[in-house]
Structure formats: C-alpha cells, structure tokens
Amino acid sequence: MARDGDGGSVSRRGALGAVAATVGTAATVLAADPPAADPIAKVANVAGSDRVKVGLVGCGGRGSGAALQAMNADPGMVLWALADPFPDRVQSGANVLARAVEEKVQKDAAYKERFNCPPERQFTGLDGYQAVIDSCDVVLLASPPAFRPSHLAEAVKAGRHVFCEKPMAVDAAGLRSVRDTVALSKKGDRSLVAGFCWRYSARERDVYRRIHEGAIGPVRATYTTYNAAGFRGENPRQPDWSDLEYYIRNWPYYTWLSGDHIVEQAVHAIDKIAWAMADEPPLSVNCTGGREVRPDVPVGNNIFDHFGATFEYSGGRRGFHMCRHFPGAANDNSDFVIGATGHALVNGFGGVHKIVLGGTTWESEVERNDMYQQEHDELFKSIRDGKPINDGDRMTNSTAMAIMARMSAYTGQPVTWEQLWASKEDLAPPTWEFGPAIPPTPIAVPGKTKLV
C-alpha cells in the first residue's frame, strides 16, 4: 500500500532506520549478519519463475536511469517496487519508466515482463525505502546522499544485492556507518556495486590499467577537474510544503543533504585521484573554497561554488583537484596523471584517452561503452554467476577524500586521514520531521568555522 507523505518523526540519524518497524517484517533487518547466501535460483521468485525482483529507492532522474539500466541488464529481472519520500515523485518515476518500457516492447514484447510496479508497491514517506528492501532481491539506492548510510545499512543487513549511487555519505558520522556496513557486506555472498561510473568505462579502464602496469613510471602527481555551470536551479516552494520537504526537493544546495558539490558531484574526479594512486588513502588534505557567484536561492542554501584541494601522499606525492560552479565560465572534466617517465591525459566526455611517453603518444582504441549500463551489466552478471563483486572499500575511501576536502575548505585548516575518521561531525538536523520548522544552517567561514 502506498504510504502518505508524513514519513513520521525521526529524532536523529541513527534513528532513521528505526522507522522500518512501521513497515512490517522489520525483524528480518535487525539480524547481526546478512542471511546465508543462496544461489540465485533460490531467491524470492515471481510466479515461480527465476525472475529477480529489483527495487528502486529514490525516483529522481538518476534513480529512474539506474532502474532502466537494471532492466536492460538482465532479461530475468523485474522492477518490482519503488520508493520516494513524495507521492508525485514516485508517480513521475513510475510514468517515466512505464513509457520507456512501452518503447522497448515495440521491439521485444517480452520486455513488458521486466516492469511490474503497481500502486500497492509504490511507497512514500521517509520510511518507504524499508518496504522496498523487504520485498526485493536487489536494491538500487539513489536517494539524496544524506539518506544513503541508513539505506545501505538496512539493505546489507537484509542480505540484498545493492547498487549504491555516489556519494555514500555527507559527513564523518555517515562515513563511519558506511565503513561498518561495508565490513558487514563482506561476510555475505551478495554484490555491492558503487555508482562511481568512470570505473566502469572501458577506455578509462584501459588507461588506468596501463598506468598501474607502469606505462608512465611510478605516479608522482595527479590533477583532476570538475568545472561545471551548476545544478538545475530552485524547485519553487509550494504552500503545502514544510521546511524539510522544501529542503529535500532542493537537496543539492544544502551541505547536510548533499555534502556540497565537491562531495556530491566532483567526487567523481576525486575518485580518479584515488584510482591513479591505486586507492591508497592520502595522508592529509589542504583545501580552499568559497562562494563567489552563487545566488541566495534556494532559500537558505549553504554550499560553496568553488574548491581547490591538495592531497598529500607518502613519498611526497600529491593529488590536486579543482571544481567550481560558475555559470558562463569554461567547463572542464579532465584528469592529468604525471609519472616518473611520462604522463596521461583523460577527458572521458571529450573522448581523450592518451598516454605520452617521450615523443610517443598512445591513444586507447578500446571500443567505447555506456559506463552507466556497464555497472548494471556487471552487477547482474555477478548475481547470475554466483560470483559477487564488492566496490565497498574504494567507494568509502573516495567519498572520505571528498568529505575531508570539504572539511578543510570550510574550516581553513588542513585535515589528516586520522582526523577525518575521528571527527564528531554529524550534519543531520535535530529532527527528520515534516512538521516543525528547521533552522537554517549557516554558511561556513574559513578560519572561523571549527573542525570538530
């Protein structure tokens, strides 16, 4: 049954998962370890078939895209349930997917069997995600990032296969939760695929594989950019919206919901630094940032519009990153990896995948692929083959790098890897409740905002 939009009252981050008790069958998600893994033939089936039930949590554009890619990945899957805090978002997501299925059916009549999300399996409210987890074999997590730690924790506890969109957390408290959940996920036999899509791009894989094999010698430094025009703009407030609903519908503009754009968006480029450095954690970061051109809408938005970070690694190596939201300025999304004997240049959107060594330039000729689709192709193949894949460690570390960079920029202080993990930072509001007003969070002031 679809739920109403009130979502209940939830006091703090740790209690968010507690609303699962209102959904029923909550005892199954409270086990200390994931259920014993079964072959795919033994998972809950649809009408006695070998169909795999898939649920989507978060029905925005990225979530709907992930659901369609999951449907394309495996003829034996069925999109079985949807969840979003708001009824209109669930309905719009269902409509988008239904239209996409109608188009597919024109060429393959059997494709209609991959979509079966009637209204009684379209859940709303802040607790709707739990109903999806309870009823599905595979869960796609694409809600605003602040909710990701609790959603991921419940999905893993329930023994589900998971596609988890990036970033995985927005603060130190959520990051520790994700770390613990990843450790738990390794005890089971389920796949955990992260939404760091460039790791699934064929040409990026070709270049970074060669870098790791020594094509440019030991890596000395990496510089990545994520310079963009910005987010989509305000969703204007409606008379019946509470403060929390307004914030969630404009979530990219609030640090406590998105982590700021360096965490929510530019984390892709920071993940490239991690990739170049073979996923070795940095020792520390020194980052600067601020608000140069960002307007005061949505109301109370508190994110910066530019960052510049320097990550320090052992042996004097460095990782440099720049990102900005300057409408009208030049955009760029590039990676420069500098080794002892050569360098690599990568711009996935621009079709640049080069390694330069001496006077010779090599360019990848690997066939280009749809990296978003590849994530799901590999996820569902791992399920069918009974050979789980787990992106947990690297997805946690890349998210951690972005969060520590934001911490450094907000405070004006260098932040070490140890300080990040020991931080008491918890950006969750006093209450997750649609009724009372939520006080605005002040914009960080470097040199005055404290590192906690």
Q: Give the separation between CA 185 and CA 157, rounded to whole angstroms.
A: 8
How many helices and strands, by DSSP H and E, does the chain display?
Answer: 13, 15
pLDDT at 296: 95
- If you classify domain 199-367+399-422 with CATH, what class do you get? alpha beta
Angle, CA 63 vertex, CA 61 and CA 65 arms, to 5°: 70
Distance (Å, whole) CA 60 – CA 67 = 11
What distance in Å separates the CA atoms of residue 132 and residue 122, rounded to the nearest whole number? 9
Write the CATH number of the domain with boundaries 13-198+378-390: 3.40.50.720
Query: Domain coordinates of the chain in residue numbers?
Result: 13-198+378-390, 199-367+399-422
Q: Output phi, psi for 357, to 5 deg.
A: -135, 115
Q: Which residues of the chain have pLDDT under 50?
A: 1-48
Tell how strand 342-347 and strand 335-339 pair up: antiparallel
The side-by-side arrangement of strands in the sheet containing 284-290 is: 360-363, 352-357, 342-347, 335-339, 219-228, 318-325, 306-312, 284-290, 415-416
Residue 25's SS3 state is coil
Return all residues near 103 (Cβ < 8 A) that are at least 6 apart: none
Q: Which amino acid is at 440?
A: P
Per-residue pLDDT, 49: 55
Dist. CA 16–CA 127, nearest whole Å: 8
Give the orientation angle of helix 148-157 with respect to helix 172-185, to 10 degrees.
Answer: 20
Quick check: 190 and 174 in contact, CB under 8 A?
no
* CA angle, residues 99, 375, 60, in degrees to nearest 5: 40
pTM over 0.85: yes
What stretches of 83-227 show up as alpha helix (H) in DSSP? Answer: 87-105, 128-135, 148-157, 172-185, 202-212
What is the pairing mode between strands 342-347 and 352-357?
Answer: antiparallel
Residue 252 dihedral angles phi and psi, to the nearest 5°: -60, -20
